[in-house]
Structure 1
Amino acid sequence: MAHYGESADVLRTFTAQANRYPMLLPEQEAQLARDWTERQDRRAFDKLVRSHMRLAVKVAGKYARSGLPVADLVSEANIGLVKAVQRFDPTRGFRLATYALWWIRAEVQSFVLHNWSLLKGGNTATLKRLFFNLRQTQRKLGIHDRVMSDAEAALVAQTLSASIEDVREMEHRFATPVSSLNVAVGEDGDHEAIDLLADETESVEERLAEKGELTVRRALMKDALTQLGDRERHIFAARNLAEQPVTLERLAQHYGVSKERIRQIESGAYKKVVRRVRSQVEAVPTLPPNLPPPLALGRRTGAMAMA
């Protein structure tokens, strides 16, 4: 595995190459997309890809903590970008950056999960969720990168819809060094080598893509919630969309039923939301088929959808 200094040099090289190509104005992007979709104009296709390469490099750089070669991560990100441009339809109202962000992330995440040694022997949906969300969830809950107490592990497990055992297992795996990218650097040793790899501030393309993605996710969740009855909607939102999920016990007391009954209602509501989101995704060709499941749409998205 490449030394972190070499990886940083590789990332800087890719970034410099990507920055050589200017961003497109909305009207330029739309015209090039039409030239590609209507006439298969290869020059238009190449311009669309090159103008969004900086987005692919930026996303790839954020997965460097996996310890995989940065060049491979960028290569996978570019594959996702190419897939996005091939399928992009400007008449749907999306900007290419919004659409491409999904494909780029999906391609890179799939590559990381397939190759990262921490996940060997169990590439399940739960492990994926924990791998990509454990540290972020800990920070949101005010839990620092240390061994969690039983109460903290239980809270994280509840937040991520995982078992305490799975949370502990992923915590242990994260604590096991897998590459030189995690070694302490600096005079005081207060930084990791990974900190040298990428600028964590969002680029213009990322801000544009994130804004568009949030709009689409909010619309999907808002539509899905209309498929639920009042009680189902309240229970689903309280358990899955609130910043601090409401316990089964509290909901059971509120409705005067058992906790098991609340769990059944929540499960049924979740299945309805899943079916609705999937049907909406399948009905819109420009949405990636591997769009995250409803809970991955995010608590903030769900809260805004209910407003």
Structure 2
Amino acid sequence: MTMMSAPTALVPATNRALGLGFTGNLGNLDAYISAVNRLPMLSHDEEISLARRLQEKNDLAAAQELVLSHLRLVVSIARGYLGYGLPHADLIQEGNIGLMKAVKRFDPDQGVRLVSYAMHWIKAEMHEYILKNWRLVKVATTKAQRKLFFNLRSHKTGLDAMTPPQIDALAKLLDVKREEVIEMETRLSGRDIALESSTDDDDDKFAPIAYLSSDQNEPTKVLEAEQVTRLQSEGLETALGKLDPRSRRIVEARWLANDDGSGATLHTLAAEFGVSAERIRQIESAALKKMKGALAAYI
């Protein structure tokens, strides 16, 4: 298979779609990733509208926009499976197939965002690809290992492990190190292990898939982290800017003065402003309510 056949097949021939398209062959994987990361993401309303056009009118242009806007999701998920030694481009290619399947089956009336729905299909295609290919890739990766791979079985006399003299003789015959013969025999005699548990109980957490994949680049977690950062900086500053000086002073003294959350007491601020503690509590409550409204735009 060609390394980037699926990704390049997904993109439009012109640069009209989504305001940014691809023209011809992107050249390499880095260029592809850079290009898909520049594609704009869809709002919830746009996503629903496109999904309904696809569902009701079989509008392929709508399907293309849904796929293009989620290509970055595939790239992000693929990074979590690089530990298997399989090409990043091939993982992306298989993930894109899963994304297209998800778009085809997506129901906009279920109340679920496409990003959440598509993750299952993308991972399913990647898992299938890994199950079919990772053991073969890992068995023989160097020239010496390939030489051993194709000669070891023919020189073994049975299913039992080779004896030290047999190992020494084979290493001399094939002109490889003794340790390499031992390692290859261990690999070939090892059994395949299911990536995912065959049961639905708590044993799932001990299946290899639970610790071989990384969730550090999980798209939903990345988006959540970015949203938190945005709230803590831009959103918080905007909300504080909508308060009068007294209200802002009270909120900052009560909630933002110390990292451990030990802010000023109501009585301390009451003495500062020459009012009752109850009045400080009322001002604080009104200020927090006003800030909540301002922060709604960042959630």
Shorter-chain TM-score range: 0.3 to 0.5
State the structure with bigger RCO (CA 8 A, min sep 6), 1 or 2: 1
Q: TM-score, normalised by structure 2?
A: 0.41
Larger radius of gyration: 2
TM-score by length of 1: 0.40
